Amino acid sequence: MKVFGFRADPNSPRFAIVEKVDEQFTLLNSSSDNKLAYPVQCIEVSDRLVWLYREFERIIIAHEGISSVVIKANEYGTESSSKRFSSYQDAALVLLCGFRGIRVDVKTYNSLSTKSADVKIHAASRVGQTTKYWDVKMADAVVAAWWGINNI
């Protein structure tokens, strides 16, 4: 079973592909593709979202057998342009999953049983961590995917 965990970011969204086999969790992209940095020519929001949608398609095709997607959404609070753009990124993934018939769950820290200060420790201890670009956003994606595998 494979789950795609996603964490939006205005500049470089992060994703984790976690697989569970015989009660063993594996972060399939721990040393490969996990940071979606926008090409320099993608300046407009619409250009970025089209590019990101295509990247989501590429990831889902490359990791055949993804049964679920879990998005770590922004926490509730004040609105900002970067949070609004993160919501657009989440929506692009939800739309793709709708077209492909893939289950989607949207979670916050509370529903993932963690918090920003602890998420890196929780992700590393539950599944593992990436060999590069290891940060809170990546840990969010890992914990989201881990949650998805345990709640399908």
pLDDT at 97 (0 to 100): 98
Length of the chain equals: 152
* Residue 120 pLDDT level (bands cut at 50, 70, 90): very high
* Residue 130 pLDDT level (bands cut at 50, 70, 90): very high
Domain ranges of the chain: 2-150
Task: List the 2-7 sheet strands across, edge first.
Answer: 24-27, 14-21, 2-7, 66-72, 103-107
Q: How far apart are CA 54 and CA 78, in angstroms?
A: 30
CA 142, 89, 16: angle at the middle one, nearest 5?
A: 15
Q: How far apart are CA 47 and CA 42, in angstroms?
A: 5
> Residues 13-20: what's their mean pLDDT?
97
pTM of the model: 0.95
Q: Residue 98 pLDDT more than 90? A: yes
* Residue 77 pLDDT level (bands cut at 50, 70, 90): confident
- CATH number of the 2-150 domain: 3.30.420.10
> Which is nearest to 100 in space by CA: 92, 112, 110, 109?
92
> Residues 109-127: what's their mean pLDDT?
96
- Residue type (1 letter), 48: R
> Which is nearest to 5 in space by CA: 142, 137, 111?
142
